């Protein structure tokens, strides 16, 4: 593997955003995902190969997170590094040179203003090669339905962090399923469980971004 790509993968895994970033301390003063992505593309490494490198870095930190060997701050830094690198790849997606795996529409359900978990999943899924449409927080059912009309083949992701807003999630899932019975809907959030997912008729529940990515990639295959 190209030495530049090895360094880029490490920057994603360890959350090294750019040259100015002091995190992680061991990489202070070194170029980060921003500079290395640009350098790789400028040196004629294909956009697809660069994307695969970014995905590999996110996969590594995601696996550590799932195993309890990395924590939310480290995941957020890795996701931020990934998002910074993705800016350089956007023109290649627009031109069709690099294909997205699909469209993932995500939002925190009505009445819930928590967004850390949603943002973590959003950035991680984008890092896995999906186009992400983030509807934000306190998203009413109508807004999810509008997104489905605009992106008919999308997969939906619903987040809730409060037990009091789980009822809103159930209502939203049921209304979406009533109109689009085959729509794939992922749910997540601290108070949720697989049992709750099955009870409300959602397609999949994951405790971690990595689990969501694995499910999405199987769906796209």
Supply the pTM of this predicted model: 0.84
Tokens of 86: 């993705």
* Whether residue 209 has pLDDT greater than 90: no
Q: Where are the domains of the chain?
A: 3-95, 103-220
d(CA 36, CA 73): 22
The confidence score (pLDDT) of residue 197 equals 97
**Across all residues in the chain, what is the average pLDDT?**
94
Position 14 scores a pLDDT of 97
Q: In DSSP terms, which residues pair with 220 in a beta bridge?
A: none
- How far, in Å, CA of 48 to CA of 197, rounded? 35
| The domains spanning 3-95 and 103-220 adopt the same CATH topology | no
Distance CA 80, CA 198 (A): 32
The CATH architecture of the domain made up of 103-220 is: 3-Layer(aba) Sandwich (3.40)
Please state whether 146 falls in left (phi above 0), alpha (psi between -120 and 50) or beta: alpha
Cβ atoms of 92 and 138 closer than 8 Å: no
CA-nearest of 109, 194, 195, 192 to 157 is 109
Which runs of consecutive H residues, i.e. helices, occur in 106-208? 116-127, 141-150, 166-179, 194-200
Q: Which residues contact 114 (CB under 8 A, 6 or more apart)?
A: 108, 137, 159, 161, 162, 189
**Are 187 and 137 in contact, with CB atoms under 8 Å apart?**
no
Domain 3-95 of CATH type 3.30.70.260? no
Distance CA 17, CA 32 (A): 5
Q: How far apart are the first and last CA of the chain?
A: 25
In DSSP terms, which residues pair with 7 in a beta bridge? Answer: none
Using CA atoms, how far apart are residues 166 and 192, in angstroms rounded to an integer? 8
Query: Which pLDDT tens digit goes with each residue over 87-146?
Result: 999 898 888 888 889 999 999 999 999 998 899 899 889 888 899 999 999 999 999 999
Distance (Å, rounded) from C-alpha 194 to C-alpha 77? 28
**Collapsed DSSP state (helix, strand, coil) of residue 93:** helix
The confidence score (pLDDT) of residue 103 equals 96
Which segment of 53-57, 95-99, 119-123, 182-186 scores lowest on mean pLDDT?
95-99
């Amino acid at each position: 593997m190209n030495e530049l790509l090895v360094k880029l993968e490490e920057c994603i895994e360890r959350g090294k955003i750019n040259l100015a970033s002091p995190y992680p301390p061991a990489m202070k003063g070194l170029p980060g995902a921003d500079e290395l992505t640009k350098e790789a593309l400028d040196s004629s490494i294909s956009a697809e190969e660069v994307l695969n490198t970014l995905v590999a870095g996110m996969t590594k930190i995601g696996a550590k997170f799932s195993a309890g060997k990395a924590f939310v701050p480290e995941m957020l830094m890795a996701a931020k590094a990934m998002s910074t690198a993705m800016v350089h790849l956007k023109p290649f997606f627009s031109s069709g040179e690099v294909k997205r795996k699909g469209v993932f529409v995500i939002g925190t359900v009505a009445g819930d203003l928590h967004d850390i978990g949603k943002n973590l999943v959003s950035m991680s899924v984008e890092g896995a090669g999906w186009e992400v449409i983030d509807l934000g927080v306190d998203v009413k059912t109508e807004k999810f339905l509008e997104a489905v009309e605009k992106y008919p083949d999308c997969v939906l992701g619903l987040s809730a962090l409060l037990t009091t807003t789980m009822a809103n999630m159930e209502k939203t899932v049921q209304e979406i399923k009533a109109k689009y019975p085959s729509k794939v809907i992922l749910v997540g959030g601290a108070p949720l469980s697989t049992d709750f997912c099955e009870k409300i008729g959602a397609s999949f529940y994951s405790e971690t971004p990595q689990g969501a990515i694995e499910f999405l990639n199987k769906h796209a295959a």
